[in-house]
């Protein structure tokens, strides 16, 4: 065979092909051939510059980790919308690329020295001594899935875009006159009256005729089509069913307890109090002198430790209780603090101790030792743990068996018999979901309305509802969409029409009353038994009246002379109100500090608006191609 290959490779065509390969390697490298097989397009291009798949995957994974950490111990990765997460991250990368290109076009620059300084000054990368720790730096980055070079690149990009953003924020302005006018408006008060007309009273007066129902039904027949629904048959595998504490042997329990004893050490717990002196803007020498002075006063009896903690400690959590930290074992406090605490004798006051938080004075009040629990105390817990461990292994094995059986069976009967499971049925539900935890599960919904189950009548693969539960489903009954009759929707239509008519008539009534009140007719003569709710000198968002009343009153125009300003408004619960503003009171002057705060707020708003408009403009003018 090798001889045949050798003979055929001597021809002119073979030599020409080999020559082309050599030229390609020389000019473009081996990647030119590999790239032909892996010519996957970049996720997006911005003005001809690609956003790499690696950057997108890294960003999605980082967001995914953050979401899972926020979910806590019971985090379910399946609950994360991976498609939505990818879309959000891609949009972020596109915007970042647009802003980077804008910064580069303007010649903005970040030096390597600046990046070095920021990294060294970052507290997360510093050790107990407050200095940059290379090992700490690399460990933090590893947890985020980054290398030092990747982090530097991210930091450089962030600094570049921050320069342009900073230019907008530093150039935004607002005049003192604007801030003063806003302050005067904020301090304004009004004399307000209001009266309520209940929606329920209007609703009680409405009667709907059969003709009205038929007319609405005929006009909106398409709205009364039911959704296609399915009823599922399913078998469920639950890890909890495999847990049998009674099956755990006494020998296994004794062995587990002995292992615990080996791991357990009779650790001391120490009750201590401390006084924290932070550095803040003070020099380290000044803080050390203060700590030494306070310690000398405590030793001399001029101050008790509790009094000193209340007066000097910068730890708000313990200062109010004399610096008391309660009982704690090892592993709770930072290194130097813990080393000092566990080297002290009861009743002893430490020398000043330096930690990353500042300087501490520590007083050890009491020492107590913990004893290992007895076998009888630990037995129920160990029994449950060992049973759960065995259950997990049996559950995984059964899940694999269920997958094989459901794939090879024409129905659920065989998997149910083989694994001792009960075949159950769901309620009828649409693609929007049902009422049970199974029929609201997104993965079950996708499978239930898939072609394989609806058209081919197959069993599904096991669908994991959680880490301990899984189901295999098949369509028991498919219920097509249909037109509902008028009788089926009569109650719904009647309620809708009554609500609409009541709201319409109530609005017409209050609008008409408002017009008559503007013309000068008194409310008491227009509607017998009604009186205004009166409130004078009311501030904005005051809690002495419904919020809708207050906000409407401050949106209404000033009264013209003696003529009050009147308006009809609808509330969220359907009630309608008549609101009257009798007078507006504006203070002659306002607090200068408030004016300064409002001026800064206006500057921030202007900067946000200007920069946001700039970003939108850049994105609108950029050539963005999503693949």
Residue 236 has pLDDT above 90, yes or no: yes
The pLDDT of residue 234 is 96
> Mean pLDDT throughout 530-538?
91
CB atoms inside a 10 Å sphere around CB 197: 19
Coil vs helix vs strand at 319: helix
CB atoms within 10 A of CB 272: 25
pLDDT above 60 (res 609): yes
pLDDT per residue as tens digits for the range 542-565: 888 889 999 999 999 999 888 899
Given the structure tokens 């096991």, which residue do they identify? Answer: 462
What pLDDT shows up at residue 394?
85
Mean pLDDT, residues 144-153: 84
Position 204 pLDDT exceeds 70: yes
How far is residue 161's CA from residue 167's CA, in Å, rounded to a whole number? 10
Tell me the pLDDT tens digit for each residue of 305-325. 999 999 999 888 788 888 998
pLDDT of residue 10 exceeding 60 = no
Alpha-carbon span 575 to 199, nearest angstrom: 5
User: Cα separations (Å) of 494 from 223, 487, 500, 506?
Assistant: 15, 11, 10, 18
Task: Specify the range with the lowest mean pLDDT, choosing from 136-145, 536-545, 603-612.
Answer: 136-145
Lowest mean pLDDT among 22-26, 54-58, 104-108, 407-411: 22-26
pLDDT grade, residue 2 (50/70/90)? very low
* pLDDT reported for residue 33: 46
The vertex-517 CA angle with 545 and 547, nearest 5°, equals 15
Lowest mean pLDDT across 30-39, 133-142, 358-367: 30-39
Tell me how far the alpha carbon of residue 488 is from its chain's centroid.
Answer: 42
Q: Which residues contact 389 (CB under 8 A, 6 or more apart)?
A: none
Q: Report whether pLDDT(13) > 60.
A: no
Contacts of 326 (CB under 8 A, 6+ apart): 271
Q: Which position has the token pair 């705060």?
A: 597
| The model scores a pTM over 0.75 | no
| Residue, of 479 and 79, whose pLDDT is higher | 479
Can you tell me the mean pLDDT for 36-62? 79
For 213-233, how does the pLDDT look when each residue is reduced to its tens digit (9 = 90+)? 999 999 999 999 999 999 999
For residue 153, what are its two tokens? 């690149």
Predicted pLDDT at 11: 56
pLDDT in tens, 263-281: 665 567 889 999 999 887 7
pLDDT at position 136: 85
Distance CA 148, CA 160 (A): 18
Least confident of 160-169, 245-254, 317-326, 337-346: 245-254
The pLDDT tens digits of the residues spanning 418-447 come to: 999 999 999 999 999 998 989 999 999 999
pLDDT of residue 15: 54
Task: Please report which confidence band the pLDDT of residue 608 belongs to, taking 50, 70 and 90 as the band edges.
Answer: very high
Of the chain, the percentage scoring pLDDT greater than 70 comes to 92
CB 233 within 8 Å of CB 377: no
> Which residues are within 8 A (CB) of 10 and not within 5 positions of it... i.e. 6 or more apart?
none
Tell whether the model's pLDDT for residue 571 goes beyond 90. yes
Most distant CA pair in the chain, distance: 117
267 vs 247: CA distance, rounded Å: 34
pLDDT bucket at 37, cuts 50 / 70 / 90: very low
Segment 333-355 shows an average pLDDT of 88
The CATH number of the structural domain formed by 265-369 is 3.10.50.40
Among 1-10, 95-104, 118-127, 557-566, name the one with the lowest average pLDDT: 1-10
**352 vs 104, 119, 346, CA distance in Å?**
51, 30, 17
- pLDDT tens track for 73-84: 666 676 777 888
Averaged pLDDT of the chain: 86
Helix 250-263 × helix 375-408 angle, to 10°: 120
Please answer whether residues 342 and 336 qualify as being in contact, where contact means their C-beta atoms are separated by less than 8 angstroms. Answer: no
* Beta-ladder partners of 236: 471
The answer to whether 565 and 229 have CB atoms below 8 angstroms apart is no
pLDDT of res. 12: 55
DSSP for 109-137 reads ---HHHHHHHHHH-GGGB-TTSSB-HHHH
Contact 273, 325 (CB under 8 A): yes
């Amino acid at each position: 065979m090798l001889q045949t290959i050798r003979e055929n490779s001597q021809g002119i065509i073979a030599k020409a092909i080999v020559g082309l390969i050599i030229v390609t390697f020389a000019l473009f490298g081996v990647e030119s051939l590999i790239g032909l097989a892996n010519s996957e397009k970049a996720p997006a291009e911005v003005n001809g510059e690609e956003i790499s798949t690696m950057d997108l995957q890294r960003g999605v994974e980082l967001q995914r980790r953050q979401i899972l950490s926020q979910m806590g111990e019971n985090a379910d990765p399946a609950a994360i919308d991976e498609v939505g997460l990818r879309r959000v991250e891609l949009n972020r990368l596109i915007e970042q690329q647009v802003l980077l290109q804008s910064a580069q076009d303007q010649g903005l620059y970040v030096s390597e020295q600046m990046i070095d300084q920021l990294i060294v000054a970052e507290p997360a990368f510093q050790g107990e001594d407050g200095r940059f720790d290379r090992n700490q730096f690399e460990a933090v980055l590893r947890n985020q899935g980054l290398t030092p070079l990747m982090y530097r690149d991210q930091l450089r990009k962030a600094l570049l875009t921050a320069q342009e953003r900073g230019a907008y924020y530093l150039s935004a302005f607002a005049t003192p006159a604007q801030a003063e006018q806003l302050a005067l408006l904020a301090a304004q008060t009004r004399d307000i009256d209001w009266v309520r007309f209940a929606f329920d009273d209007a609703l009680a007066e409405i009667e709907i005729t059969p003709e009205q129902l038929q007319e609405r039904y005929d006009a909106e027949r398409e709205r009364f089509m039911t959704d296609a629904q399915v009823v599922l048959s399913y078998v469920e595998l639950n890890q909890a069913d495999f847990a049998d504490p009674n099956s755990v042997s006494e020998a296994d329990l004794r062995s587990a307890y002995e292992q615990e004893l080996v791991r357990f050490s009779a650790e001391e717990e120490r009750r201590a109090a401390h006084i924290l002196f932070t550095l803040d803007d003070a020099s380290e020498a000044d803080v050390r002198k203060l700590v030494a002075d306070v310690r000398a006063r405590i030793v001399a009896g001029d101050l008790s430790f509790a009094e000193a903690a209340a007066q000097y400690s910068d730890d708000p959590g313990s200062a109010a209780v004399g610096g008391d930290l309660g009982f704690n074992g090892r592993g709770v406090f930072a290194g130097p603090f813990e080393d000092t605490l566990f080297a002290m004798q009861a009743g002893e006051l430490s020398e000043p101790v330096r930690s990353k938080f500042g300087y501490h004075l520590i007083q050890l009040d009491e020492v107590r030792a913990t004893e290992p629990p007895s076998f009888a105390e630990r037995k129920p817990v160990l029994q449950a743990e060992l049973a759960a461990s065995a259950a997990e292994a049996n559950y995984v094995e059964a899940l694999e068996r269920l997958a094989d059986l459901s794939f090879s069976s024409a129905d659920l009967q065989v998997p149910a018999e083989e694994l001792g499971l009960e075949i159950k049925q769901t309620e009828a539900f649409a693609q929007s979901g049902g009422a049970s935890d199974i029929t609201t599960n997104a993965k079950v919904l996708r499978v239930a309305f898939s072609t394989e189950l609806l058209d081919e009548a197959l069993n599904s693969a096991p669908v994991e509802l959680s880490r301990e539960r899984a189901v295999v489903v098949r369509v028991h009954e498919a219920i097509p969409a249909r037109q509902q009759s008028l009788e089926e929707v009569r109650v719904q239509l009647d309620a809708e029409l009554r609500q609409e008519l009541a709201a319409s008539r109530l609005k017409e009534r209050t609008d008409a009353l408002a017009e008559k009140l503007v013309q000068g007719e008194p409310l008491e003569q227009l509607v017998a038994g009604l009186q205004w709710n009166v409130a004078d000198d009311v501030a904005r968002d005051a809690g002495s009246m419904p919020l809708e009343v207050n906000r409407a009153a401050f949106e209404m125009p000033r009264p013209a002379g003696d003529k009050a300003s009147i308006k009809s408004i609808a509330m969220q619960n359907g009630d309608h109100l008549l609101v009257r503003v009798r007078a507006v009171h504006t203070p002659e002057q306002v607090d200068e500090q408030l004016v300064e705060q409002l001026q800064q707020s206006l500057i921030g708003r202007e900067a946000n608006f200007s920069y946001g408009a700039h970003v939108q403009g850049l994105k609108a003018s950029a050539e963005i191609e999503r693949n």
